Amino acid sequence: MSNWWIYKGEGNQHQGIATLPPPPEWRAFDPAGYRPPRPNHELAWSSSDEVRGKSYRADPDALNPVNAAMYLRRPLLVTGTPGVGKSTLAYSIAWELGLGPVLRWPITSSSALRDGLYRYDAIGRLQDVHLEAATPREPISRYLRLGPLGTAFQPVDTPRVLLIDEIDKASLDLPNDLLNVFEEGRYEVDELVRIAEAEPRHLIRGADGTDIQVTVGEVRCKQFPIVIMTSNGEREFPPAFLRRCVRLNIDPPQETQLKRMIDAQMGREMRQRAGNVISRYQERIREEGGVLASDQLLNAIHLTCRMDLGPDDQVELMELLFQSLDAELA
């Protein structure tokens, strides 16, 4: 194992993030100077996300790109077929390095930059004033809520992990719109900039429920977040976007990685009982060129090895669950 790796992909929590060296001069954002990041154990994980983070076992080929992106403070663009663990990689990084729950921004065709940064409830504020439920002096921050992207750039010493999921579904403009935030490490909340002289400081609720201080309408990061962007390869990205990313393509897991994954999720005993299921899964991929997800294998093991099924029922269930993801629906 390379001694420069901070993220090791083994599922064991450690404080290696504190050894992350200063960023390159052109990627330093904190005007007060570099401070080594510290693990963040205060924010609570959901049980399902915690399991995802603990049980993921990274492909050794992924460790160089992940760590390079961390050292360089660059986004990591992760491609691969559905179900190979692109999104789960983000949970693994956050769990292993003790960086708190993942901030996830699922992308749709209508997603815009501002959706990820913050939301302003202008109608709610107007209604409160008209109904005298609030005075005109009620802080405008009450009607603002930071999105996952906006929360990830909060000025704290410990970087957060931001998952921008399925960015290939975005409009043509979003990747280029993200570049400015990624390059500058900052963004403005327009509604607060307009009143910055009269009210220079505000507390705004973040996407994770924490309160974040915004000064003169600007959010500026101290530690660039660990940004994981996933893509199923459904579109091409502009060169200006690609050259600012570290790129990783995750191949379907091989036998060794499958065994590590099953051991982490279900235990070695279950994996040893599931030899025929694993073999059939690999046959479907190898012989028929099918696109199968790892969780299809886990589902099959759960049903065939934890239920009292006869051989014929096991075969039938495997055929049902091991249908290729790229197969056309009848």
Domain residue limits, the chain: 16-249, 255-321
More confident residue, 157 or 230: 230
Question: Tens of pLDDT along 153-177?
Answer: 998 889 999 999 999 999 989 999 9
Is pLDDT above 90 for 135? no
Rounded to an integer, the average pLDDT of 7-22 is 92
Question: Tens of pLDDT along 73-111?
Answer: 999 999 998 888 899 999 999 999 999 999 999 999 999
Q: Rounded to an integer, what distance in angstroms lies between the CA atom of residue 302 and that of residue 133?
A: 54
Read off the pTM: 0.88
Is domain 16-249 in CATH 3.40.50.300, yes or no?
Answer: yes
pLDDT number for residue 325: 80
Contact 280, 290 (CB under 8 A): no
Question: Tens of pLDDT along 260-279?
Answer: 888 888 888 888 888 889 88
Strands annotated E in the chain: 76-79, 103-106, 118-120, 144-146, 161-165, 186-188, 201-205, 211-215, 218-220, 226-231, 246-249
Strands 218-220, 144-146: pairing is unpaired
Q: Which letter does DSSP use for residue 134 in this model?
A: S
Q: Which letter does DSSP use for residue 327 in this model?
A: P
Rounded to an integer, the average pLDDT of 112-124 is 91
User: What burial class does residue 95 get, using C-beta atoms within 10 Å of its C-beta: 0-12 exposed, 13-18 middle, 19+ buried?
Assistant: buried
Give the sign of the dihedral formed by CA 190, CA 177, CA 20, CA 80: positive
pLDDT number for residue 257: 82
Alpha-carbon 279 to chain mean position: 31
Rounded to an integer, the average pLDDT of 130-148 is 76
Is pLDDT above 80 for 287? no
Q: Rounded to an integer, what distance in angstroms lies between the CA atom of residue 22 and that of residue 70?
A: 11
Q: How would residue 252 be classed by pLDDT, with cut points 50, 70 and 90? A: confident
